[in-house]
Amino acid sequence: MKKRVKKEVSSMDAEKMVADLTQWLRDQTAAAGAKGGVVGLSGGLDSSVVAALCCRAFGENCLGLILPCYSHPQDAEHAWLVARHLNMPAKEIPLDEVYDRLVFLLTGQPYREGEVDMALANLKPRLRMAVLYFFANRLNYLVIGTDNLSEWSIGYFTKYGDGGVDLLPLANLVKSEVRELARYLGLPPVIIEKPPTAGLWPGQTDEGEMGFSYEVLDRYLRTREAPPEVKEKIERMMAASEHKRRPPLRPPF
C-alpha cells in the first residue's frame, strides 16, 4: 500500500481510498494466483468495511464466514445484516462445541463462560483463523484481514488469530477513517455506530480494555499529540507488541 504521509484524520478522500483499496486487493490476489478472498464477518465496523471492499474487488468470488464462539447473538445478526446488505456469499459455522472440547483437552476443566483468561480468550480468534484458511485453501482464495492501523500499531490483535491473514487492506487507516469509509460505502447505520468490541468475553469493549478512546489513539497516530500519560501508555504498548507485527526472526548467521 502507499506510504502514509497524512497528518490529519479528516483529510482522507473516501472515494479515492475505496477505489485504490479495491484495485490493490485485485492486484495482490492476482499476483498470488488466487481467485478471490475470504473474510471473517464479526458484525463489527472493520469486518463490514473489508467485506464491502471484497465484494467490489471480487464480485461473487468472495466468502464471508460468520464464526460465533460464545459470542453475543447480536454479533451474528449484524454479520448477516451486512452479508445480506452486500449480497455477499456467506456461511455461519458455530465454534462453541469445538472450543469447549479444546479447552477441556488443554486444561482438564470445562469452559466457564465469563471467565477472563487471555490464553483461553485468544483461542477463539485462532480457531477462526484455522477455519478461514480451510475455506481459503479449498477455494483458492486469500484470507483478507480486518485489523486497522489503530489496532495494529498497539498490538490490539491476536497473534496468529485475527493477525494471521494474507492481506490487511485497512492497516494504513485509523479507526475514524474506517468509519468514514463505512459511511461512503453505505453500510447500515447500526454497524457504523456500535461500540467496537473483540467479543473476547461478555461486556468486553475495545476502549475499555485499551484504557483510552479511539479518538485519542487516532489523533496520536496522525499527529503524535496526546496527554502525557496516554502517550506514554500508547508508546509502551507499541514497543511491547513489536514482535506481533514482524515475521518470525531467523538467526543472523
52 lies in a domain? yes
Q: Are 56 and 18 in contact (CB under 8 A)?
A: yes
Residue 84, pLDDT > 80, answer yes
Residue 7, pLDDT > 50, answer no
Grid coordinates given for 2:
502507499
2 lies in a domain? no
131 lies in a domain? yes
Question: Domains in the chain: how many in total?
Answer: 1
CATH of the domain at 112: 3.40.50.620
Confidence of residue 223 (pLDDT cuts 50, 70, 90): very high
122 lies in a domain? yes
- Mean pLDDT across the stretch 192-202? 71
pTM: 0.91
Residue 156: other Cβ atoms inside 10 A: 21
Rounded to the nearest integer, the mean pLDDT of the chain is: 91
Cα separation, 153 vs 168, in Å, equals 13
**Residue-wise pLDDT tens digits, 20-66:** 999 999 999 999 999 999 999 999 999 999 999 999 999 999 999 99
151 lies in a domain? yes
DSSP 34: -
105 lies in a domain? yes
* Full residue range of the structural domain in which residue 21 is found: 9-244
253 lies in a domain? no
- Tell me the torsion sign for CA atoms 209, 214, 218, 220: negative
201 lies in a domain? yes
Residue 143, pLDDT > 90, answer yes
- Mean pLDDT across the stretch 118-130? 96
